[in-house]
Amino acid sequence: MSATTITPDEFTQLFPRFRLQHELTTQLLAQARRQSFPAGTHLYWEGDSCSGIAFLLSGAIRVYKSGETGREITLYEIGPGETCILNASCILGNKAYPANAVTISGGELIMVPAHDFRRLLGSHETMIDFVFALLSERLGEVMELVNEVAFRRMDERLMEYLIEKSGDGVLMATHQKIASDLGTSREVVSRLLKDLERQGKLSLARNSISLLEDL
Amino acid sequence: MSATTITPDEFTQLFPRFRLQHELTTQLLAQARRQSFPAGTHLYWEGDSCSGIAFLLSGAIRVYKSGETGREITLYEIGPGETCILNASCILGNKAYPANAVTISGGELIMVPAHDFRRLLGSHETMIDFVFALLSERLGEVMELVNEVAFRRMDERLMEYLIEKSGDGVLMATHQKIASDLGTSREVVSRLLKDLERQGKLSLARNSISLLEDL
DNA sequence: GCCTGTCTGTGACTTTGTCACAAAGAGGGT
DNA sequence: ACCCTCTTTGTGACAAAGTCACAGACAGGC
């Protein structure tokens, strides 16, 4: 087995939606190119046009917007077993990418050319369902993000972020990275974290934040 | 011709994507219920589940999020010839609505039951394209809204809003309504408008804003 | 005229974002 | 060990935006 192939079994394990569709899986894989990527690879930029749709096998991708002021905000992240739905969106809506994407860890994906993807969509309802469900979920997530950014306080959002992102109560990240996920500035994150430290809720060190109270 | 029917010709004029698909149009209309609505009708609330997809014939719909503090923000508006894509999103993703929708003028729509819509999707690529394109466009719009809210200044956003919404340089609206579209509070809108008036860029009266410089 | 409900204006204060700059680690080379 | 450099963090001063409280202005009915 060559390193550049993926078996239908491996694939259907990652993408359970396709588990009963051997024909679909086979067709999909026949057209696909498998590629691996290191962390920090920019997959596309806002304004690019696109030529295929990516199915993520391993690793993670961050989709984000970048403001003129230099600040950034993460729209959502893509994990194994998901497709980079913005590809589909671009292909089917015939538009440029509305956001940027960068890999946040190394991993692998398979790339299906736009034309083949379109053909599969027309002939397999499973594929329609899969893509629609993912697109709908993203739309809902981004709508919820609008709500967060427009109405919620930064200290609450930061606290939730820390709890969500810290595996065992410790998060390894710079304040700048946190700020770029939340859509605020590094200074604000530093200030709020310092306040939380003074309140005894966490302890700070270079590149690491340890939650103290088990909230 | 009864008031509760729509001819395929009328329909394809409003929805040009379906112009060469008489069979599709006929099937769609066969299952559809036509309904009219007054301004201010709440079509659904965040958390509702949904049973059909709406094709808008006339009038306009506002889709918005509502924060705990009482503030609101408009995500986008739906016009004639568009479908309320969140319906499709809910049907195909099997989820509750992620936002609220209210009519901002009287109008008419046709409602296609979820089951029939699904069937049409499976058998007509035109329908797939139509729904995907609209869903993609909305996703792009909402992403851009995140950018606006997270990074841009309110005075700029307000000025753009006024220019876009004022037909002939005059906009009839309360400050509260403007605030609810932009996702801010009434006081902020009042203050910014007063500043702009002092700068000679517009003149204010109860329920009306007149732009003075032809920007 | 007067009454009532809606709409607008504004001061005081808090939260968030910006700018400028200082200080504290981390890691390399010698 | 020491020095040098780059990254990361801390903080004061100010600007922009959101909150709260309340006053005044306007429209429409009586």
pLDDT in tens, B150-205: 999 999 999 999 999 998 899 999 999 999 999 999 999 999 999 999 999 999 99
Give residues 2 to 61 of B whose Cβ lies within 8 Å of A: none
The helix (H) or strand (E) run that includes residue A211 is: strand A208-211
With tokens 């959002």, the residue in question is A157
Nearest CA to the C1' of D18 belongs to which residue? B185
Closest alpha carbon to B56 in B125, B104, B115, B94: B104
Is A144 an interface residue toward B (CB < 8 Å)? yes
Tell me which residues from 129 to 158 on chain B have a beta carbon below 7 angstroms from nucleic acid strand D: 153-155
- Written as one letter, the residue type at A177 is K
Q: Does the pLDDT value for residue B1 go beyond 50?
A: no
Q: Does the pLDDT value for residue B34 go beyond 80?
A: yes
| More confidently predicted of B187 and B128 | B187
Among all strands, which nt has the closest C1' to A191 (CA)? D10
**Nearest-by-CA chain A residue for B86:** A136
The helix (H) or strand (E) run that includes residue A76 is: strand A72-78
User: Stated in angstroms, how far is A59 CA from C25 C1'?
Assistant: 31
Give the strands of the sheet with B100-103, arranged side by side: B42-44, B100-103, B61-66, B72-78
| More confidently predicted of B64 and B125 | B64
CB-based contact B143 A142, cutoff 8 Å: yes
Quickly list H helices, B35-113. 85-93
| More confidently predicted of B61 and A118 | B61
At B113, the pLDDT band (50, 70, 90 cuts) reads very high
Lowest mean pLDDT among A95-109, A123-137, B17-31, B55-69: B17-31
Three-state secondary structure readout of A161-183: HHHHHCCCCEECCCHHHHHHHHC
CB-based contact B125 A122, cutoff 8 Å: yes
> Which pLDDT tens digit goes with each residue over A28-71?
888 898 999 999 999 999 999 988 999 999 999 999 999 999 99
Q: Does the pLDDT value for residue A2 go beyond 60?
A: no
Is B146 an interface residue toward A (CB < 8 Å)? yes
Shortest distance between the Cα of A5 and any Cα of chain B, in A, equals 30
At A204, the pLDDT band (50, 70, 90 cuts) reads very high
Nearest CA to the C1' of C7 belongs to which residue? B206
Q: What percent of chain B has pLDDT over 70?
A: 97
At B3, the pLDDT band (50, 70, 90 cuts) reads low
> Which pLDDT tens digit goes with each residue over A61-104?
999 999 999 999 999 999 999 999 898 888 888 889 999 999 99
Closest alpha carbon to A143 in B141, B125, B82, B12: B141
CB-based contact A143 B142, cutoff 8 Å: yes
Statement: the CB of A193 is under 7 Å from strand D: yes
Interface test mutation site (partner B, options A139, A157, A182, A188, max chain B beta carbons within 10 A): A139
User: Stated in angstroms, how far is B40 CA from D1 C1'?
Assistant: 77
- Note the Cα A42 to chain centre separation in Å: 13
Strands A52-58 and A107-113: antiparallel
Contact A109, A55 (CB under 8 A): yes
Say what the pLDDT of residue B24 is.
86
Chain A CB contacts of B94 below 8 Å: 133
> Which pLDDT tens digit goes with each residue over B45-54?
999 998 899 9
Q: In angstroms, what CA-CA distances link B60 with B64, B87, B144? A: 13, 16, 21
Say what the pLDDT of residue A4 is.
61
Phi, psi of A195 (to 5 degrees): -60, -45
Q: What integer is the mean pLDDT of B118-145?
A: 91
Statement: the CB of A138 is under 7 Å from strand D: no
Say what the pLDDT of residue B4 is.
61
Say what the pLDDT of residue A1 is.
45
Is A132 an interface residue toward B (CB < 8 Å)? yes
Closest alpha carbon to A125 in B88, B91, B122, B115: B122
Interface test mutation site (partner B, options A84, A95, A142, A153, max chain B beta carbons within 10 A): A142
User: Stated in angstroms, how far is A206 CA from C26 C1'?
Assistant: 10
